[in-house]
Structure 1
Amino acid sequence: MFQVNSEVGALKQVILHEPGLDFERLTPGNKDELLFDDVVWVSRAREEHRAFQRLFTDRGVTVHLLHDLLAQTVKTEEAAAFVLDRVLDERQPHLGGSLARVTRRVLAAMGPDELASHLIGGLNKRELLQALGEHRAGCRSLGLDLLADDDFVLAPLPNSLFTRDTSCWIHDGVAVNPMRKSGRRRETVNYEAVYTFHPMFAQEPAPRWIDGEAMAPAAIEGGDVAVIGHGTVLVGLGERTTPAGAELLAGRLFEAGSARRVIAVELPKARALMHLDTVLTMVDRDAFTLFAGLDRRALRSWTLTPGGPAGPHVTENADFFTAVADALGLGAVRVLQTAQDSYAAEREQWNDGCNLLAVAPGSVVAYEVNENSNRMLEDNGIEVLRVRGDQLGRGRGGPRCMSCPVERAAA
């Protein structure tokens, strides 16, 4: 049922996350730790996201919201225990055994909807003590005493907005990814629970290419993974995905016969270029958009193919886009770059001008702010479906980052 064999086949089902309690808890003081560049106007962010959702539903795409999936998952005691066992480890520096046990008791007493809200939106000391009520006097711990009332026992996860990174479907299986930055690592647990226990996924379990926490510290994130078709997967090696992560993913895909080759491409290690999809996305069966600040001829890449017990065969490519065209069985691919000065290119890169989500071959969702890039795409025959992202873009992610396709038609 769930399968993604292409970046551009007609989109059928997708996981999104609407901003909620997690966004309400972003402040100037914690935004850096939570990997946002600024605080967010929350009601406007919700408005922008709901318009984003409508774009999909108007085209017949089924939208699954992460909060709802998680709430439906933790209805069972087994699933709730699975999550709480992992997020309330007493070895975490700010917890300790006493505070972990008290917090677990409070969260376990919540209904599934409230529990899901706090697993994504966080829990502070004030809320913990209010939930304890008359029992609070007997709950003392170093961890609790050292917290101010508004300090978090469980930090919020506003980067849950970017559903692609933590979970990405590759052919007939799913990778639940270990996140590179500490502010995102708990997201992995939520997805592990959903894919393990939610009835929609548990009835016919899919292969698990990457098994979350078990793989760390060999990080890989879904923004660096592109399923371009013909048994080929692209992986970006930049700020968030490690060579070890790319090789482990390739080995598991090859072992299952679910991919014939993985092409790994080196990226500059910079926040604005944190993932492959911030500089390159596939927009049609034969076309890719590439950040104007990168020289297409200078991209260093390697092709990984099935090997023996020692791991995949690794061959450095003479030219990245030639290797991509060969993998797709094409004489060449179109590489679309916006002709603009360096200032405009840098601005549109910062606003995710290349972070595009194809909903069908030659039809992509883009932020409206990137006027030059959007005109360039249309001049090259690509339909551009514009959405507003003034607030959503403050975490440095565009339409592709904000979507986890779980089913696409063949391209």
Structure 2
Amino acid sequence: MTHPLLVPHVSSEIGNLKAVILHRPGKELERLTPQNLSELLFDDIPWVKKIQEEHDEFAKVLRDNGITVLYIKDLLKDVLKDENIKEQFIVDLLKINGITSLESKNYLKDYLLDMSYDDIAEIAISGLEKGDIESNNIPMGLAEFIYEDHYFYIKPVPNMYFTRDPGAMIDGGLMISSMKTAARKPETLILKYIYKNHDIFKRNNIPCWYDNTYFHSLEGGDVLILSDKVIAVGCGERTTPQAIEQLARNLFEGGSTVEHILVVQIPINRSYMHLDTVFTMVDKERFVFYPGIKRDLRVFSIIKEDKGFSIKKEKDLMDALKSSLNLSNIEIIPTGGLNAITSAREQWSDSTNTLAIAPGKVITYSRNESSNKIMEKEGIEVIGIEGSELSRGRGGPRCMSMPLLRY
């Protein structure tokens, strides 16, 4: 699959969205059980058929608005057509899943090499359980004996439909995340193979600002592209200050247009796992914000200098936005209004996680009625989609999309 006219570039959070990477939820969600929910970062078990219907509606809304939708599994299939790449991917996939028994590793490698690239792409996301292999001859290590009933040789990645987190386009380069949790590390392996081998990235000589070899965690949901020169990065449960400093160094020294990074320190709490769960940009001067954490925020600036960078503490988020974006006015739209109960309820179902597809035009979950009405009253065009099942994974429309191109 080639896309000759697509040159990935994102230097805005609200510019006209032209191309995006999604993942349609699939068999990996059928692997969720009450026993593994916590390990795989879910709070509940979604209804798979319904979640697929909701996701298909999301993709249709994007297409109806002139946005090219690419699926990450299709991009992976494209690169796995090369047998050498497929073999190395299998080796790395087994390694990241912690297969320690040499006999098991060799058996599984040979087993997977006989499969088609379509099947490998599916297994990389939906997993490979002991019961999936119709053979009694596979060598068993200690782990296979101990977890005999429900042992995954390759674990499923049910969070894959939140494609925002494994990476982010910043300016003309790609940031590949270093994920905090083991459950999500295979997602960045998949993205890295696409980055290194797919024509979309290879043809355009896209630089890499950060990748999954860095020890300190940095995730895409914490990165907001406020302008061509300013980005915001959340520092909390999933992204560390050390990672943000490294990203700053890479951007400033690597030829990016970014000159200013607003670091927004958010509480270390699953409810606010990424910056975009409490704060998103919806128009040039307007932002949606969850007011329940206002008192807990601290904001810092990392500013590019002739040599290196400087760091300073900001008075508050509003002043920092005005100053860094050179705006005389900033409008903060509180999700749920000033009702603390409504605001907290709707933040839990991702009211703040809006996806701007054009200035003043956003996609949200229709279930967040109060927040949507407030945005509409403020002149924001709101396109609501169903999200009763999608939201069970703890993410909204922004989380479910990785923009490749914005004008």
Q: Which among 36, 39, 43 is matched to residue 33 of structure 1? A: 39
Shift of 1:234: 0.2
User: Counterpart of 1:387?
Assistant: 385
Amino acid of the residue matched to residue 57 of structure 2? Answer: A
Separation in 2, partners of 1:145, 1:269: 37
Tell me how far apart the structure 1 counterparts of residues 300 and 140 of structure 2 sit (CA, whole Å): 55
Following TM superposition, by how much is the alpha carbon of 1:226 offset from its aligned partner in structure 2, in angstroms?
0.4
Aligned-pair CA distance for 1:138: 6.5
Aligned counterpart, 2:288: 289
Q: Name the residue aligned to 1:403.
A: 401
> After the TM superposition, which residues 242-261 of structure 1 pair with which residues of structure 2 at under 5 Å, given as runs?
242-258=240-256, 259-261=258-260
Aligned to 2:95: 89
The answer to whether the 8 Å contact 1:90/1:100 transfers is: no
1:291-370 alignment, distance < 5 Å:
291-295=290-294, 299-307=297-305, 311-337=308-334, 338-370=336-368
Listed one character per residue, the Cα deviations across residues 228-281 of structure 1 (whole Å, up to 9, x for unaligned) are: 004001000011000011111111111123111111011011101100000000
| Residues 29/115 of structure 1: CA separation in 2 closer, same or farther (3 Å cut) | same
Contact residue 174 and residue 210 of structure 1 kept, 8 A: yes
Q: Provide Cα deviations, 1:301-350, integer angstroms capped at 9, x if missing partner.
A: 111012477x5311111222211112212112111114242221111010
**Alpha-carbon distance between aligned partners in 1 of 2:104 and 2:389, rounded to the nearest angstrom:** 35
The TM-score with structure 1 as length reference comes to: 0.93
CA contact (8 A) 2:169 2:403 kept: yes
Query: Secondary structure in 2 aligned to 1:354?
Result: coil
Hey, what does 1:48 align to over in structure 2? 54
Whole-angstrom distance in 1 between the partners of 2:271 and 2:223? 17
1:88 match: secondary structure: helix
Would you say the 8 A contact 1:359–1:365 is kept in 2? Answer: yes
SS at match of 2:81: coil
Asked whether the equivalents of residues 96 and 143 of structure 1 are also in contact (C-alpha less than 8 Å), the reply is no
Any unmatched runs of 5+ in structure 1? none
Whole-Å separation in 1 of the counterparts to 2:338 and 2:329: 24
**What does residue 174 of structure 1 align with?**
174
Deviation at 1:23, TM superposition (A): 1.0
> Structure 2 residue aligned with 1:127, among 113, 117, 132?
132
The answer to whether the Cα contact below 8 Å between 1:230 and 1:328 also exists between their aligned partners in 2 is no
- CA displacement at 1:67 relative to structure 2: 1.2
State the 1:140 CA deviation. Answer: 4.4
Q: Could you tell me how far apart the structure 2 residues matched to 1:138 and 1:300 are?
A: 53
Alpha-carbon distance in structure 2 between the residues aligned to 1:91 and 1:290: 37
- Please list, as runs of the form range in 1=range in 2, the aligned pairs for 1:99-248 lying within 5 A after superposition: 99-128=104-133, 130=134, 133=135, 136-137=136-137, 139-212=139-212, 214-216=213-215, 218-248=216-246
| Paired-residue identity, % | 38
Q: Deviations over 1:66-117 (max 9, x none)?
A: 111111121112322332232222992x532221221222222211111101
Aligned length: 399
Equivalent residues of 1:364, 1:383 under 8 A apart = yes
Aligned-partner Cα distance in 2 for 1:329–1:44 = 44
Aligned equivalent of 1:276? 275
Q: Any gaps of 5 or more consecutive residues in structure 2?
A: 1-6
CA distance in 2, matches of 1:396, 1:152: 24
Tell me if structure 1 keeps the 8 A contact 2:97–2:153: no
Q: d(CA) in 1 for partners of 2:145 and 2:80?
A: 30
Query: Equivalents in 2 of 1:138, 1:177: separation in Å?
Result: 34
1:334-372 superposed Cα distances (whole Å, 9 cap, x missing partner): 111142422211110100010000000000000011011
Question: What secondary structure, in the 3-state scheme, does the structure 2 residue paired with 1:64 have?
Answer: strand
Query: Whole-Å Cα distance in 1 between the matches of residues 228 and 309 of structure 2?
Result: 18
Q: Which amino acid aligns with 2:43?
A: D
| 1:294 CA drift (Å) | 2.5
